[in-house]
Amino acid sequence: MIPTLNLKDFTKGTTESRQKFVQDLGQAYEKIGFVAIQNHELEDAFIAELYAAVKKFFDLPDATKKKYEREDLAGQRGYTGKLKEHAKDQTVADLKEFYQIGQELENPEVYGYPANVWPEEVPEFKPLAIQCYRKLEAIGRQMLRAIALYLDLPEDYFEDKVHHGNSILRAIHYFPLKDIEIEPGAVRSAAHEDINLITLLIGASAAGLQVLTRDGQWIDITAIPGTIVVNVGDMLQRLTNNKLRSTTHRVVNPPAELAHTARYSIPFFLHPKSDMDLSCLPSCITEDNPKQYEDITAGEYLRQRLIEIGLLKV
């Protein structure tokens, strides 16, 4: 089981509880890269309503879902069909389909963002997704404030970098695997690391998420019901010169007796604005840990990774 922390210890706690939260969070991110957060104020009833809307969309005929696929946007908005994405350095596609939502702004083009794509057949999808996006973005910003303190940075270090940032809410459907032909080696989500700063995951409808420990063992991620799992992404690992760990994880296929079942998941990938400098923090470069990465912006890095996972064609 991954460490569980109480977010209210940071947002509404004493000086001592805030300091303990910061240290516990930082230590967990150095050792495993994952924590579970409780008292995040996302209500169970709302989460259940959101998952119901997500399931309703994915239950639509493939031809209907296809109307919302925008391949020109590299999967960054709207629907992405089955077997379209693969993990970095993999050639076999993941066994999933998904739907992505970005910032819902009056003028998204000002920030270089495309407009969101919304399914007409599920009218409740839009308001629920927007509400979820904004709630998770607010929780993520609190997490980044704690991370900044752990790194001896000003508490608001990330604020201007993630305000109206390029974050993505992704609704994922891992479809049933019974009676379909599966390419050898194909799994629901092959081993990978997330691209962004941090990822916030609100539950999942079934087991399957695993992380790779430092000693090379795959372990199941189990968290207390009602918690949000929050993990480090590659952008934060780059920024901290590997001080904080973007841990490899995957979603394995279900056992044969459960092959007829689907799995749903809704992660929120918290991205900064594209012009954020991801150059390693000077405080994280030492004689024992020399600089590991070349300088790059968040936008340049995102483009590089979208090509690597097959969503952006060049």
Is a pLDDT exceeding 80 seen at residue 206? Answer: no
Q: Where are the domains of the chain?
A: 4-308
| Side chain identity at residue 298, one-letter code | A
Provide, rounded to the nearest whole percent, the portion of the chain with pLDDT above 90. Answer: 87
**Predicted confidence band at 160 (pLDDT cuts at 50, 70, 90)?**
very high
What's the pLDDT at 224? Answer: 79
The vertex-175 CA angle with 314 and 92, nearest 5°, equals 40
In angstroms, rounded to a whole number, what is the distance separating the alpha carbons of residues 102 and 130? 9
In angstroms, rounded to a whole number, what is the distance separating the alpha carbons of residues 301 and 239? 12
What's the pLDDT at 205? Answer: 66
Q: Stretch 49-72: mean pLDDT, rounded?
A: 96
Is a pLDDT exceeding 70 seen at residue 122? Answer: yes
Q: Stretch 28-42: mean pLDDT, rounded?
A: 93
Per-residue model confidence as pLDDT tens digits over 77-106: 999 999 999 998 888 999 999 999 999 999
What's the pLDDT at 222? Answer: 77
In angstroms, rounded to a whole number, what is the distance separating the alpha carbons of residues 196 and 192? 12
Strand arrangement, sheet containing 263-270: 4-6, 34-38, 228-232, 198-204, 263-270, 168-174, 97-101, 78-80
The CATH architecture one would assign to domain 4-308 is: Sandwich (2.60)
Length of the chain: 314
